Structure 1
Amino acid sequence: MLEELLSKEVRNEISECLADEAMYSVVWERLDAVNGRTEVTDQTYLDDLLQIPPLKSQDAASLKTFANRLHGAVVTLSQSRYAHELHSRTTLMAMEAKLTTYLKEKWSEKRKRTGAKLNVLDLDDWITVKSMS
């Protein structure tokens, strides 16, 4: 997922780190060292999350694509100065709005069952599991 979003030059610079999501923090450090301006990069990560297209269908391929994009955005955003947005009710509502009606209903049921205040990290985990079943 991350690799698809990078320019050829950046991919060449960090290629050995792209195969493992655990290495994304190394990627972040390298990009920051080379490019600086972390506030711009951090805002881009938040924009990437919020600009994920709505899920129009819940067929397996569409759900997997949505789950991958969501997870990629969550992982990178979690390592930025905007990580607090992953706990924001407003951000969660924006991401919930991208779900199909059926998935919104199922997510709402989960929220009621859980009784806890859920966030985008929880939605990411839930969508990932749904995309695998």
Structure 2
Amino acid sequence: MKTFINSFIIFTLLLLPAMNSQAQSFFKLKEMKKLFEGQWLNRKTTRQLQISFEDDKYATITDWTEKFQRRESGDVYKAFIKDGKLVMPEDKEHRAPYSEIISKNNVLIYRTKSVGTGKNSAWDQEIFKRHHSF
């Protein structure tokens, strides 16, 4: 009986962190969806973003400029979820800059650093507001 109780305690201690991790992932994903998911517009440039989530690791972003293209022909890329923001690492091979998207006061701030400029360079940023055109 003592062996059974010890086994049960060990099993419970091993299972609880896994269950807690799944619960945290669910709430993290729910919060990220609330902050980022949907269609966003920069009225000045007509650049639009459509953001959706597959899981708690990354978001899928469709990026297009209304003046020149339709959403179907926009660029599609993944942004990883890191510290409450969406992060797109620099990719020198494809000349993609390091970028991150931050949600602040119901707007998105899309910040970019040019390829190869390093950590101390200035950020380019663009502001997006929620767009309801679907």
TM-score bucket of the superposed structures, by smaller chain: under 0.3
Report the TM-score when normalising by structure 1: 0.24
Calculate the TM-score normalised by the size of structure 2: 0.24
Higher RCO (CA < 8 A, seq sep 6+): 1
